[in-house]
Each structure stands twice: as C-alpha cells, then as structure tokens.
Chains A and B, each alone.
Chain A
Amino acid sequence: MSDQPIPLSGRILDIGVRFLPHLVLFAVIIGAWEISVATGLITSIIIPRPSAIWSAIVELYITEGTIYRHFFITLTEAVVGFAIGAGVAVSLAIASSLWDPFRRYVTPYAVVLNVTPGIALTPVIIAWFGYGMGSKIALAAIISFFPIFVNTLTGLVQVDEDREELFNSLGASNVQVFRKLRAPAALPLMFAGFKIGLTTALIGAVVAEFAQATDGVGVLMSRFSFQLNMAASLATLLSMTVIGLILFYSMEFLDDRIVFWRRESRRAAASRARARTWAAQAKK
C-alpha cells in the first residue's frame, strides 16, 4: 500500500474495472435467460422472463408500492421476535453461567428444544397466538432462542484460565469478574449467535406467514405463487433478500462497534476516541 492518496477519478476507475466483468457476466446471463424463454426453450410459466420480473418489481415497488406494507410487517415480526428470543436467551444464559445448579437443570430442556425442529411448532403456535402478528413473533422468538443461548453461555463459561487467575489474585469481586472479564469475553460469540438468530427469526416469521396470515411478505409470496404469477413471486423474494441483508449488515455494524477490539482499525479508532475524551477531561 502506498501512502499517497489515490485521486478520486483513479478510484472510480479502479472500482469500475473491478465491477465490469461482474456486470458483463450478469448481463450475459440475463440475456441468455431472456432469449431462451422468449424462444420457448424454458416454459415461461415455470421460469418467467427477466423482463417480466423487472416489470413486476417496478409495479410492486414503484408504481403501486403494495409491497412496503408487507415488507415492514415481516421486518417488524422478525426484529421483535428476535429481540424477545435474544432477551430471554441472554438472560437465561447469564443466569446459568452464574449459578451452576440452574445450568445443570436447564441444559436438558435447552437440548430438547434444540433437537426439535422449531418449525414443527408452527401450527400449534398459530393456534395459541392467533392469525395476527403475535404468532409470527412467537415463532421467530422460539427458533432464534437456541443459537443465542448456546453461544452466550459458551462465551460466558469458557474464559481464559490465566486471565481468571489474574483477576482472582488481584482480588476482583464476582461482579468485577463478570463485568470486566466474562461479559467482554463472551461478546464475540454472542454476536455470532445474534447473527444466526436473526436469520432464523426471519425464517420463522416467513414460515408462520406461509401457514396462516393475512399480511406479510410470506403471504404475498404464497399468494402470487399459487396464482402462478411467478414474476411477482420472484419480485417478492427480492424483498426477503433485502430484509435478510438489512438484518445481517445492521448486526455486522453493531458487531464492529461493540466488539471493536477484534478489528485492528476499529480498535485504533476506539482508543483515539478515548484519548480525546481524556484529554478534554484533563483540560477542565
């Protein structure tokens, strides 16, 4: 890496050169797809033309904008479900890391819950929580619970022994050990669990919508599919991808900010920020 800043035009050119082959390939694939459907090589009922998908996207997202309501409903279900699941999981994990007997007697139930496919509960959850958003949130919470619970518990329990020794020999209290040693050590694993949990929460929300619902992207998806409107159905799938990307990257962002010490550049930035606050305090 040279220290000289690259001029902006150079950078744009660089990005262009990097993305051009991808764009060309994408265009070729789309073109071949379009032509093979247009000439009848592929039945358009099963695989719609790219141009048909594009016009469905334009219709759903721009001219009519019907998708946004469903989009935000599903997003809310996934996020709220995840928040509940994560809250319960983290508090149970903390409790079982602090109190040994609790861990021993909770573990069997956690394992049983884990080996049961959470999706199997869908009809029962719908019977319990109704056709509205409640059942989707509940399913999302249930199936996002386990990865978060396991990762948090593992992170809290598996602490570097030398460090623990150091803490003990310096006479750290239990609260200090938890706050300064166990919790920070658990954070990276916890966030890995959060990422898995978010993905599964989205799956839970969508599957519950398939089973029974009136609003949400999953409903839209199955409705379009059974009308054999494949183009609109694929356009709806796009919004699930977008939700997935939003959820994943916002968690990635939080991961970067909160677990800043894992990445060199972030660590440097955090320590600079601290130095600034200390300098400001010293001035006063």
Chain B
Amino acid sequence: MAVQDATSEALVDTLERSLRNRRIAKHVGIFLTLTLLWELGSRMGWLDPLFYPRPSNIIRSFWLIYFQNANVWFHLYSTISLVILGWVLGSMLGIGLGALVGFNTVIRRFLKPYVIVLEATPRIAVAPLLIAALGFGVNSKLAIIMLVCFFAPFINTLSGVINVNEERLELFRSMRASKTQILRKLVLPDAIPVIMAGERLALTAALSGALVAEFIQRDKGIGSLILVYTRNLNMASAFACIFTLTIIGFLIFKGMEKLDHYIAYWKYEGGRERMSAKRKRTMVEP
C-alpha cells in the first residue's frame, strides 16, 4: 500500500555509474552537439526564437535574473521557505495521523473509505478552493503545500505501522515490553525507511503544490515569475527559471538521500558499522 518511487533511485544509480565510467566526455559531447544544433536551428530560422529560446539567450537570462537584475532571489526565497515550512508541517501531520490510525484498528476501519476517496481526488485540485477560503497570500499557499504533502507520509506511516513483523512483536510482548517501548524500539525503526520514502515524495509534491498556488495567485514566488515571463513572451527567462527548478529538484533528491543515509542508516552499506563505532566512542568516554 505504501507509495514509493524507489525506481528512480535505480535510474540515478545507472546515471552515476555511466558518468563514472569515463564516458563523461561523450555525454558532454552529445549535450553540446544538441545544444549547438538548437542554437543553429534558431539562428537559421527553423525554430521561432519567440517560442523556443536559444541556449545562448537562456544563459544570458541566467546572468540577468541572478546577477544583473537579481530579481530571482526574492521569488526563490518566497517559494523555498514556504515549501520547507509546508513540507515540515504537512508531513508531521501526516506521520502523526498515520501512526494514530495505524495503532487504532477502530479508527482505521472507519477512516478507510474516506482515504480511498481522498486518494482518487487530485489533491492539487483543491487549490482554488483553499485560496478562496483563506484569501490570497501566505496562508492559502501554506495550506495547499501542507495538503499535497500530507498524503504520502500518512499512507506510508500507516502501512509501516501495520506491517510490523509479527514475530518480533511476539518477542517484544513475551519480554513484557511496554507499549512505548514497542513503539520506540520496534515499530518506529521498522517503519522509518517507508516513512522516509513518503517524505521524499512529499517534498517533491510540495514544490509542485507551491508552483500551482503561485500560478493561481500570481503575486510572488518562482511560479508566478515563470508565468509573468511567459506572458511577456520572454521565454529565455522563463526557461532560466525552469532550469533553476531542475537544480532545486536535484538538490531535493540528493538532500533527501543524505537525510535517508543519516536517519535510516542501517539500510545502507557500512551505515550500521559507522553508527556502532560512533556509539562505542561515546560510550567509552565517561
């Protein structure tokens, strides 16, 4: 039942492996050739530069929006701060409710139909409704981000809690572990990898949610910047913003991987040894 996008990890692994195998030169060569072809096509008039901006113009726009006009920073700050805040709040809510529902069979049974209905509804579709209810501004943006963040951690925590290893639970019970002990030492550690997968999805969704909120509100944030640039047919700057989002997306991916290495360390090669060495160090010192 848990939602996961573990498969894209596999793809990034292939990417990194193929980059490591000294094929970088070829990759860069192909990339440059494609870029040059694009540039050439635009200069020869095959591609309308009004709609399909030239690579050189996109690079110039990067310079413009980051350094010369430096107007992107304000919007970036607005988007990123809201994304992180909404992600933390929304996913905390999701994890908390997921754990609550996971432990309580009665609540779980009664909540199930609503969860199914919620799962089928595109959550982002509620955006205009939330904006109308909470007004323009930070509140509604935050609410939208929290809403799109909520679901993946909720479902994953729920399934992590439900799928506790029965034999281990039996062992814990037979040693008369208290409920808190079972929660802290068995259920949570077991569920953490799944929860982290949910968190990663939630952060990606948070960025999309913020963009949709900004498209509708058109006040500030990178989404509204893209919208304004496109409306003015300043496609090069719009693409500079979109590539900025690509970079942010990649940072999110890498950052979540690092966080996963840190929190769910036992999943990774050498992680357990590293942690136990660290523990030993702290234990020896009185």
A interface residues with partner B (beta carbon < 8 Å) = 21-22, 25, 45-47, 103-105, 107-108, 110-112, 114-124, 126-128, 146-147, 150-151, 153-154, 189, 199, 202-203, 206-207, 210-211, 217-218, 221-222, 225-226, 228, 230, 233-234, 237, 240-241, 244-245, 248
- 5 shortest interchain CB distances as A-B pairs: A115-B249, A244-B120, A123-B230, A225-B128, A225-B132
Q: Which of B18, B222, B231, B246 meets A104, CB within 8 Å? A: B18
Whether A116 lies near B18 (C-beta < 8 A) is no
Interface band, chain B = 35 or more
Q: Complex: how many Å from CA A116 to CA B208?
A: 10
Q: Which of A119, A202, A225 meets B131, CB within 8 Å? A: A225
Binds A, one of B94-102, B209-217, B266-274, B278-286: B209-217
Whether A117 lies near B132 (C-beta < 8 A) is no
Note all chain B residues with C-beta closer than 8 A to A199: 122
Whether A123 lies near B227 (C-beta < 8 A) is yes
A78 to B, closest residue via Cβ: B122
B118 to A, closest residue via Cβ: A241
Distance (Å) between the CB of B38 and the closest chain A CB?
13
Note all chain B residues with C-beta closer than 8 A to A211: 215, 227
A117-B208, A203-B124 given; A103·B14 CB < 8 A:
yes
Give 14 A-B contacts (CB < 8 Å), ordered by A residue.
Answer: A47-B133, A104-B23, A107-B18, A115-B249, A120-B241, A120-B242, A123-B227, A123-B229, A124-B238, A203-B122, A206-B122, A210-B212, A234-B129, A248-B120
Distance (Å) between the CB of B42 and the closest chain A CB?
15
B121 to A, closest residue via Cβ: A241
A111 to B, closest residue via Cβ: B15
Q: Which of A118, A121, A150, A218 meets B125, CB within 8 Å? A: A218
Note all chain B residues with C-beta closer than 8 A to A105: 26-27, 30
B5 in the interface, Cβ–Cβ < 8 Å? yes
Whether B212 lies near A116 (C-beta < 8 A) is no
